[in-house]
Chain A
Amino acid sequence: MLGPQSSLVMYDEEYQRILLLLERLLRESNSKVIFLVDKNGQLIAATGETANLDTTSLASLTAGNIAATGGLAKLIGEKEFSILFHEGEKDNIHISIIGGRVILVVIFDHRSSLGLVRLRVKKASNELAIVFEDLVNRTEQESISSSAPSPFAEITDDDIDNLFN
Chain B
Amino acid sequence: MSFINYASREINCKIVYYGPGLCGKTTNLQFIYNKTAEESKGKMISLATETERTLFFDFLPLALGEIRGFKTRFHLYTVPGQVFYDASRKLILKGVDGVVFVADSQVERFDANIESLENLKDNLEEQGFDLEKIPFVIQYNKRDLPNVSSVEELSNLLNPRKVPELEGCATTGEGVFETLKSVAKLVLNDLKKGGT
A49-89 interface bits toward B, Cβ cutoff 8 Å, 1 = contact, 0 = none: 00000101100110010011011000000000000000000
A95-132 residues at the B interface, CB under 8 angstroms: none
A4 near B95: Cβ-Cβ < 8 Å: yes
A5-31 residues at the B interface, CB under 8 angstroms: 5-12, 14-16
- Given known pairs A4-B127, A4-B128, A11-B7, the reply for A162 and B65 (CB within 8 Å) is yes
Number of interface residues of B (CB under 8 A): 47
A151 near B70: Cβ-Cβ < 8 Å: yes
Is B94 interfacial (CB 8 A cutoff)? yes
Interface size of A as a range = 35 or more
Main secondary structure of the interface of B (DSSP, over half): mixed
Tell me which residues across on chain A come within 8 A of B75, comparing CB atoms: 41-42, 60
Residue from A6, A12, A54 within 8 A of B42 (CB atoms): A54
How far does the alpha carbon of A61 sit from the alpha carbon of B15 in the complex, in Å? 16
Tell me which residues across on chain B come within 8 A of A8, comparing CB atoms: 1-4
Is B6 interfacial (CB 8 A cutoff)? yes
Is B64 interfacial (CB 8 A cutoff)? yes
Tell me which residues across on chain A come within 8 A of B70, comparing CB atoms: 151-152
What residue in chain A is nearest B67 (Cβ atoms)? A159
A→B interface (CB under 8 Å): 4-12, 14-16, 38-42, 44, 54, 56-57, 60-61, 64, 67-68, 70-71, 139, 142-143, 146, 150-155, 157, 159-160, 162-164
B→A interface (CB under 8 Å): 1-8, 11-12, 14, 42-43, 45, 47, 56-57, 59, 61, 64-65, 67-70, 72, 75, 87-88, 90-92, 94-95, 127-128, 177, 181, 184-185, 188-189, 191-192, 194-196
Closest 7 CB pairs of A and B: A40-B95, A15-B7, A7-B1, A67-B91, A10-B5, A163-B64, A42-B3
